[in-house]
Structure 1
């Protein structure tokens, strides 16, 4: 048995959660995929994958072996690059998960630049505001906001983005422009964001010196996806608090108007996160370095 090939096949099968897709991506017969996995399981004396015609489950032994295998492959890749003295470029597949607004407004427009720099990297970009299970879903890294949930993850700071409170000119013409956050509770409609995994809605936050307010107001709509949240505010149904980088083009075109600008909102730190148990591969480090560069010039521009 070619154990290294069997390991690569195992990783690809668990990524794709399909023997057929793994075989197609590796350009080898499907029968070879099954045989290599059987040989690997026989060599290890344990089941790595429980499979049937309707289900696919990685066993606890398989999960543990997968993490060790990912570290091994990452170190081999780094060894090859070091020995090649820069002639070998990062290559292979990289799965990255990111929220909707960041993907659509920051990352995807810059992908031609990334592709030109790393032509041998195949990027699998998962786009969702729902937090990914990094280990369980075979994700190499995610870009997420806020503090890390536990010590099993390592985060690399990208930047901090700020929010802007805004509404359409038509809404403000009809309902008036508030001059104090308290007015939002009394006579305005709000459009809030809610977390899809918990169902919890975010209030609108305001701070000015010693004064602090959390405003829920009369919410006419709560939205669980960041791009849709911005679009909902653009309908003119209410006042929203959205990422400034999302609002910037609409503020420039005057489709949205910033309000309560004397009041600040907490900044939102963004981090590139990967498992602490996983050795960072050359392709992961390449993407992380590029992401730091990208976000420093795109998402974190000073407010204008």
Structure 2
């Protein structure tokens, strides 16, 4: 073998060794803790969901799964952190419906958009509730609707900040009622709920996850739920849907999905998707989710392609609502 051929053979063998090493590294994923970035403050609905998911994923991946809260700018800061992270599967994003509304809400995003991510599957769906201060004279949604119609601008509708689930649901509600209310933004669900309980504001459209304890405690009134069917939770079983209350086809669910940075290796994505599927069958996770009125996803949207198609549909749906309301954020 001449010198040139020996060199070529040596390079070829080196390439084989490197490819084998890379394949082995991917097969052994994860070799260190995985981080789930939640783009909202600790203690909120998304944070609770992520922590339940982290424990279920830990069992499937045989590795520590950490939850990191990166709040701010309606969830865009946390999303940007994941979009720009190393694409190795160790930094993932747990985001809700705001993932699909950000491209319409924000004129400038700190990342390119939904194409900056790999889709791992939808996690769950949760309806919201329309709740009000206990001192409101209305005892039903029909009475509430009449009260709003007298002068909607005098009705104070609270939400947890631009891009939050309560903000989006509130936009949809105003559009359906053809009523422009005075919206009152807060820096999170906690302070918004505190003021609703205290009677400072009139109404709020909030996830059942947070609303149920306040309803059960008699601290707020429940007027309707945003699901297609009535909820089975004892506190909400008698509460009608907005659709049956006269707002035909009104349905808003707050969903959560799992994402990785764009260009994460395919074998890693496959392992993460497999782990997610297993996690969503975990009896303890299902029990905790159902106790909060949340449905774990079991349909085709667990497939990455179907998950992305679903999000693209949500982007288009909410773009129409946001544009009509002129609800933009800088």
CA offsets 1:257-284 (integer angstroms, 9 cap, x no match)? 2114441441223211123411236874
Q: Which residue of 2 aligns with 1:95?
A: 35
Name stretches of at least 5 consecutive residues in structure 1 with no aligned partner: 1-71, 82-89
Q: Which residue of 2 aligns with 1:164?
A: 129
Q: Which residue of 1 aligns with 2:222?
A: 258
Q: Which residue of 1 aligns with 2:94?
A: 143
Higher-strand-fraction structure? 1
After superposition, the CA RMSD in angstroms is 4.0
Cα distance in 1 for partners of 2:55, 2:195 equals 30
Cα distance in 2 for partners of 1:161, 1:73 equals 43
1:123 to 44, 66, 72: 66
TM-score (norm 1): 0.55
Tell me by how many angstroms 1:296 deviates. 4.9
CA offsets 1:205-249 (integer angstroms, 9 cap, x no match)? 349xxx922554133x31242444434433332210011112122
CA offsets 1:44-69 (integer angstroms, 9 cap, x no match)? xxxxxxxxxxxxxxxxxxxxxxxxxx
Cα distance in 2 for partners of 1:74, 1:214 equals 58
Tell me by how many angstroms 1:136 deviates. 1.9
Cα distance in 2 for partners of 1:233, 1:135 equals 36
Q: Which residue of 2 aligns with 1:192?
A: 159
Cα distance in 2 for partners of 1:247, 1:74 equals 48
1:268 to 254, 272, 281: 254
1:293/1:144 Cα in 2 relative to 1: closer, same or farther (>3 Å)?
Answer: farther
Cα distance in 1 for partners of 2:254, 2:192 equals 16
2:280 to 283, 287, 292: 292
1:153/1:302 Cα in 2 relative to 1: closer, same or farther (>3 Å)?
Answer: same
Cα distance in 2 for partners of 1:249, 1:168 equals 14
CA offsets 1:141-193 (integer angstroms, 9 cap, x no match)? 21222365433423311122111010232x325x8765244633165322124
1:106/1:124 Cα in 2 relative to 1: closer, same or farther (>3 Å)?
Answer: closer
The count of corresponding residues between Structure 1 and Structure 2 is: 216
Greater RCO (CA < 8 Å, at least 6 residues apart): 2
Q: What SS does structure 2 have at the residue aligned with 1:237? A: coil
Name stretches of at least 5 consecutive residues in structure 2 with no aligned partner: 1-19, 101-112, 225-239, 243-249, 295-330
Tell me by how many angstroms 1:195 deviates. 2.2
Cα distance in 2 for partners of 1:73, 1:218 equals 60
Residues 54, 65 of structure 2: 8 Å contact kept: no
Cα distance in 1 for partners of 2:83, 2:217 equals 42
1:218 to 182, 189, 198: 182
TM-score (norm 2): 0.51
1:123/1:266 Cα in 2 relative to 1: closer, same or farther (>3 Å)?
Answer: same
1:192/1:265 Cα in 2 relative to 1: closer, same or farther (>3 Å)?
Answer: farther
1:150/1:118 Cα in 2 relative to 1: closer, same or farther (>3 Å)?
Answer: closer
Cα distance in 1 for partners of 2:261, 2:46 equals 21
Is the aligned partner of 1:278 residue 2:223? no
Higher-helix-fraction structure? 2
Residues 34, 63 of structure 2: 8 Å contact kept: no
